Amino acid sequence: MPIVRMLRRWRGFTLIELLVVIAIIAILIGLLLPAVQKVREAAARMKCTNNLKQMSLATINCGDANGGKLPPSVGVYPGFNNQVPYNSNGGIFLHILPYIEQEGLFKASLIPDDTKSPGDGRNGANPTYTQWATPIMNSQVKAYICPSDNTFGGRGPGSEFARASYGVNGRVFKKNYLGWGGELKRYPASFKDGTSNTIFYTEKLSQTNICTNCCNNYCDNYWPDWGPIISSPPEDCNQPSGVAAMFQVNCIGDVSSCDGNRASSPHDSGINAALADGSVRFVSASVSPTTWWSAMTPDGKEVPGNW
């Protein structure tokens, strides 16, 4: 009987009690949200770091497989200034595809004659792995996309294909076409400043806002061609050099003032950079522009300071 009386006296929650509980839950969610965002950003940065490491190691392996000759920023490879069968013709991210577990995509770019559509003739009438093949132009390579880059697809339908979140150091990787190019760098002989002191790749948003230079529109980081190039010398694209080549932080795409000719990061505290020894480091936004430029030059006879 006492148990029956207790059950009869039970009542539900009042409206005020429910509102108090809801308010407490809302406060707890508000306290947890910044922590969740930090965890997500840390995970995105880790993914970005892994991508850059994979790209750097792939480039080293690519050079090893071709007599120590590193691929060009854009051009025909591995033939230096030479049109021969089965060269690849395009940007460096095309040349390293087989070394980032994308050999299937690379092979899908083969055409029988580079002088015929969709080729551009720069490898002569030879079978060529070309940037203009439809599978390449319609691709999305996960290793080339940073989760923190919020600019993908920012220029409408189709702009999410064959775009990258990374830039290629134009002081290391240069163009290589017949009659238009310089000799390919050799690994590690060309790195007189040391492979651990020289940048291969760094972050660069898929879309930026400022993009004036002598040869193209690099607001659009279209990787099969020369979209990822940064800080290239006068004989290539004559992009900003020296302290003017300092990377940009806290970029947010089309509405930003970030320059497509320089490295750009969506982070506010620094930028990820892949070095020529295969390592990756997060460079603080407080680093000096002189130190950054020292790390961009492979044989400038200077060693980066505190970075």
Lowest mean pLDDT among 56-60, 85-89, 149-153, 160-164: 149-153
Q: Across 26-183, where does the E strand assignment appear?
A: 74-77, 87-91, 110-111, 128-130, 166-169, 175-177, 180-181
Q: Do residues 143 and 99 lie in contact, with contact meaning Cβ atoms separated by under 8 Å?
A: no
> pLDDT tens across 37-60, in order?
666 677 777 899 999 999 999 999
Q: Decide if 248 is inside a domain.
A: yes
The answer, yes or no, to whether residue 93 has pLDDT greater than 80, is yes
Does residue 74 lie in a domain region? yes
- So what's the pLDDT on residue 189? 95
Over 70: is that where the pLDDT of 190 sits? yes
Position 8 scores a pLDDT of: 53
Residue 32 lies in a domain: no
Q: What is the mean pLDDT of residues 130-151?
A: 95
pLDDT at residue 166 greater than cutoff 60: yes
Domain count, the chain: 1
Residue 224 lies in a domain: yes
Residue 1 covered by a domain: no
Distance CA 229, CA 124 (A): 25
pLDDT at 2: 54
Share of the chain above pLDDT 90, in %: 63
Range of the domain at 135: 51-296
User: At 278, which amino acid appears?
Assistant: G
The stretch 166-195 carries a mean pLDDT of 92
- 217 has pLDDT over 80: no
- 146 contacts 104 by C-beta, under 8 angstroms: no
The reply to whether 126 falls in a domain is yes
111 in a domain, yes or no? yes
**Residue 17 above 70 pLDDT?**
yes
- What is the distance between the alpha carbons of residues 143 and 47, in angstroms, rounded to a whole number? 9
Structure confidence by residue, pLDDT tens digits, 228-268: 999 999 888 888 999 999 999 988 655 567 888 999 998 88
- Distance in angstroms (rounded) separating the CA atoms of residues 106 and 272: 26
